[in-house]
Chain A
């Protein structure tokens, strides 16, 4: 049992650094008021510790709530001065990182911007999957299906009735921002339709049941040609927000020509930040405790008053909405959706992301997503400089394959040597205390 608990109930700690980090990240560039929320961070510390030392995960489900109110007082009286007296490298790191992210479109070329956008879209999808698989312990192999629902939902809702490569396509011609919102809701709805199964099954049963979604999705994408364009896919109408078009029309900002990638970069940053903060809120609040309790001991969670089936279904819906948003972003970046992309390999990639980054945390999902989605791009770009990797089509190990070896091996190795994922490499400030 002590061995089993290693990857399991420790999660209250891993989500702590994510929280701390994101806190100071927002505080840096934009919101000075959130400095006021700083003392609340140490206030949460004893809470996290209480959950940490508690080996009965069920106990951390609900009773953590009331205990957070009274006992934290004594330590908070001491810590703020101690914290204020020390310079916090973490905060500076986050300010630097956010400035870097904001400045990147001015320096990078289209290839790397696109790669970065993929990584951000993937990060949003991975956060969703981590809520489901990492925090709640519900294995899903059908994440690619919900990505497809988001991507194609956006295309169909925003696209017009048009003839593309000799085929009549149906579209609703809605304003693109509305189409994006509706596409996310549509993905949530698809998740909701699956809830009779998502709410009742777990483990391998759910994993293989969701595998069915991939095949259903592929079937629909190839056959509903009026909506999806069949094999050739469908072109994606560019996003337009408050009269501002995120298309390829050039716009010069500070002597740098801004095309779709540069413009979308900021949309993706905002979306990722919002998604990350929301997921962090969910994970650290009452629902997060309930989800972890469900994962660690379903029956105990049920006894403590967590509605098991409803929670599972709700998390499934939430995770599909995240996937839907990721799908919309991917479609906007790709500028064309093709059904082949949304296959089983994509689902496996998302699972690899959250395992490599760290199960059950927002930071883990983001780190994993960046790792898995940038790896093939890096290998492609420098394939001739790397040993053992050759350009695609020359018969050797292509960059795509090489990256698959790497993250396949990374999944196995991370679980073995680094339970908790890559985010564990950065020691959390809370653990040191």
Chain B
């Protein structure tokens, strides 16, 4: 039972980190209807900036610069690349983001090389004991930070004029533009927010118990894709639910690996994708996604 609770808590914590990434993904999709396959490289960019600067600046300023850096990279991608394609077919735009991803990922993995970079976080490998349950401080910090950021984001999405503009643009871009919403700003801010959220997620994907920022981190970040899809691409609630489902599934599949040997080693990495496929079989638009209605 202790193992179960520990795995559940660990999974929820990882899940909240995936939810952060998936949320950024969904925000971009809602604001611009672009599926951003370059999201993992935004995350890597944020993590890399933090990892490089933490020695000189100290952890917190480095993190701030990392977050800002990822936001800048995100809005630069929007400003320099995506803006040129406004009005093109959405599947073509998705392929453009794949091109951007190839560029960014190649550059970042070249910079990282074979190193494993520490991010210099203050939690280290300390753990907290709650009765029989042991949980790493980093996991608690991840959950707290993710919960805080997600709440802040959802409140802003609901109550600020930025959020209203964003939702209006998602609802109907033409009408929103006629009402004075500046679509360029909306999409740029969506990319910036997504980049910032991804940079925070990068921190928590690389802290204890994972060794640090390495090439494979972008693969871990990819798990946010199934999270966003199984929740439904156009739903912020879906991103949260999807993130948590992916996190918990992965945690259980990894934790009980010894009892799942017939599935082969490393099933934990695969589990999120299998869950996504099962969900898509039953609900092709994801759990909370809007079903497409067509009037003929």
Contact = CB atoms under 8 A, between A and B. Distances in A.
- Do A and B belong to a common assembly? yes
Interface of A: 3-4, 6-8, 137, 139, 196-197, 200-201, 203-205, 207-209, 211-212, 215-216, 219-220, 222-224, 299, 303, 344, 348, 351-352, 355, 397, 401, 404-405, 407-412, 415-416, 419
B107 A405 contact: yes
A411 B89 contact: no
B296 A207 contact: no
**Most B CB within 10 A of own CB, among A205, A397, A407:** A205
A4 B87 CA distance: 6
A105 to B, nearest CB: 33
A3 B86 CA distance: 9
Contact of B274 (A4, A212, A355, A401): A212
B67 interface: no
Given A351-B95, A415-B99, A404 B106 contact: yes
B84 A416 contact: yes
B276 A3 contact: no
A211 B91 CA distance: 16
Interface string B245-269: 0000000000000000001111101
B133 interface: no
Given A200-B284, A223-B263, A223-B266, 5 more contacts: A207-B35, A209-B280, A222-B265, A344-B222, A405-B106
Interface stretch (B58-66, B181-189, B225-233): B225-233
A7 B87 CA distance: 11
B106 A401 contact: yes
**Most A CB within 10 A of own CB, among B106, B225, B263:** B106
B277 A211 contact: no
Contacts of B264: 219-220, 222-224
A223 B99 contact: no
B210 interface: no
B280 A412 contact: no
A303 B296 contact: yes
A223 B296 CA distance: 49
B116 interface: no
B89 A412 contact: no
B161 interface: no
A408 B94 contact: no
A203 B90 contact: yes
Contacts of B98: 348, 351-352, 411
A355 B95 contact: yes
A208 to B, nearest CB: 5
Contact of B270 (A215, A404, A419): A215
B103 A219 contact: no
B94 A203 contact: yes
Nearest to A196: B281
Chain B residues touching A, majority SS? helix
B294 A299 contact: yes
A141 to B, nearest CB: 8
Interface in B100-115: 100-103, 106-107, 110
Contacts of B276: 208-209, 212
A139 B103 contact: no
B87 A412 contact: no
**Most A CB within 10 A of own CB, among B81, B99, B103, B107:** B99
B85 A416 contact: yes
Given A348-B98, A415-B99, A416-B84, A215 B92 contact: no
Contacts of B162: none
A207 B273 CA distance: 12
A139 B270 CA distance: 21
A412 B35 contact: no
B88 interface: yes
Contact of A197 (B81, B85, B281): B281
Contacts of A220: 264
B96 interface: yes
A219 B225 CA distance: 18
Contacts of A203: 35, 90-91, 94
**Most B CB within 10 A of own CB, among A200, A205, A208, A408:** A208
**Most B CB within 10 A of own CB, among A137, A220, A223:** A223
B94 A415 contact: no
Nearest to B229: A208
B89 A219 contact: no
B102 A411 contact: yes
Nearest to A299: B294
Nearest to A354: B95
Nearest to A403: B106
Contacts of B265: 222-223
B294 to A, nearest CB: 5
A211 B84 CA distance: 27
A196 B103 CA distance: 34
Interface string B20-34: 000000000100000
8 contacts: A204-B229, A204-B233, A207-B35, A207-B94, A208-B225, A223-B263, A352-B102, A411-B98
A222 B280 CA distance: 26
Given A137-B91, A222-B264, A411 B280 contact: no
B89 A8 contact: yes
Contacts of B99: 352, 355, 408-412, 415
Contact of B273 (A204, A215, A223, A303): A215
Nearest to A407: B102
A411 B285 CA distance: 29
Contacts of A352: 98-99, 102
A42 to B, nearest CB: 32
A134 B280 CA distance: 23
B39 to A, nearest CB: 11
A209 B94 contact: no
B103 A412 contact: yes
B226 A208 contact: yes
A348 B102 contact: yes
B103 A205 contact: no
B229 A7 contact: no
